[in-house]
Chain A
């Protein structure tokens, strides 16, 4: 059974705090056998995902990034306690933000987390450089 480590940070729902999420994603992913291209893509996608949630939330008081790592790689879950109707809506999935996220991280999905909170989940596998 794979050993999973989780690092979580919660920030206020303001753009000026998003760089903390980006930096944390960079720091945690650097502990895995991921290439620097992968790490940069993940940071960009976390930024984009958090902004996406931020611009769509209603009455959120926080944005959370949870980074789960195990032998299979990394799972980044960006979620909010906001109430967002119809998540993920066509509006999100048709947006440029989503095209960017999906373009950066092939295994990206918009779902609800265990607590029913709107979330964007990004998965990366170690050295999956099938792009190369």
Chain B
């Protein structure tokens, strides 16, 4: 019997008996596992493609899908009634969904919230200048004539737009943050202390390093940084959140400083 390993859109067929035969040998023959991986590449690619358009490169998604496939191979029980292709598809989709969920990204931001997010973005520089500080949620809600809850939702939604947009203009101002930074950057020198704890800082793109420097060494607020580098406050917020997450991901507990404490603040 054959099953469609690529679902309805593909033409590649994987013979179920072949798969079971490979599972039979998997304990003794390392090539059996690889053969299953190869056989199911069309399936991983097909499923990965279904998650494109959400800000992740296809190659990365295929990698995530393959993690799911490997997990499925490890956990599949040939004795069970279910076919491997069915089991693998469910596991791969689960892995892909988890990938997006782990990043705190929603799958879809409602248009209403996207539009409100843009309105917030447009209003922020003016209202911040007027007040001499960034506004509160209440102040924004009053000015935009919407509920406070809607403002919170819109700002939350703006946080979850894809990382891909970081290098793209996200508002009508045009131009990216990098344009505004010019040749850069005195910040690396100041960040040296941090880099000794987290070497990954050296690998950050200049803009990300510069934003870290402005926030943590110059003590600028997100709104002030936004003004200085010519992007929106929400954009700065995303850059900071993603940069910190990135640094955290590259920092194992064993890598953090074992040296003396600075004392409680």
Contacts and interface: CB of A to CB of B under 8 A. Distances in A.
Nearest to A109: B264
Interface stretch (B7-15, B61-69, B74-82, B216-224): B216-224
A89 B257 CA distance: 11
Interface string B240-265: 11001101100111001111111111
A94 to B, nearest CB: 4
Contact of A27 (B152, B241, B244, B248): B152
A39 B223 CA distance: 12
Interface residues of B, number: 50
Among B137, B220, B262, max chain A CB count under 10 A is at B137
B201 to A, nearest CB: 8
A127 B136 CA distance: 9
Interface in A95-127: 95-100, 102-103, 106-110, 127
Contacts of B132: 132
A5 interface: no
B96 to A, nearest CB: 14
B58 to A, nearest CB: 23
A15 interface: yes
B146 to A, nearest CB: 13
Q: Determine chain B's interface SS by DSSP, over half rule.
A: helix
A40 interface: yes
Interface in A5-24: 15-16, 19, 22-23
B136 A36 contact: yes
A27 B216 CA distance: 24
Contacts, number: 126
Interface residues of A, number: 50
Contacts of A37: 133-134, 221-223, 233
Interface centre among B148, B151, B258 (most CB of A within 10 A): B258
A19 B98 CA distance: 13
B215 to A, nearest CB: 7
Given A37-B221, A103-B215, A132-B133, A97 B152 contact: no
A81 interface: no
Interface of B: 98, 101-102, 104, 124, 132-138, 140, 148, 151-152, 155-156, 194, 197-198, 215-216, 219-224, 233, 237, 240-241, 244-245, 247-248, 251-253, 256-265
Interface of A: 15-16, 19, 22-23, 26-27, 30-41, 43-44, 47-48, 51, 55-56, 88-100, 102-103, 106-110, 127, 129, 131-132
Which 9 interchain pairs have the tightest Cβ spacing?
A: A93-B261, A19-B104, A94-B257, A90-B261, A95-B256, A35-B134, A30-B137, A103-B216, A37-B134
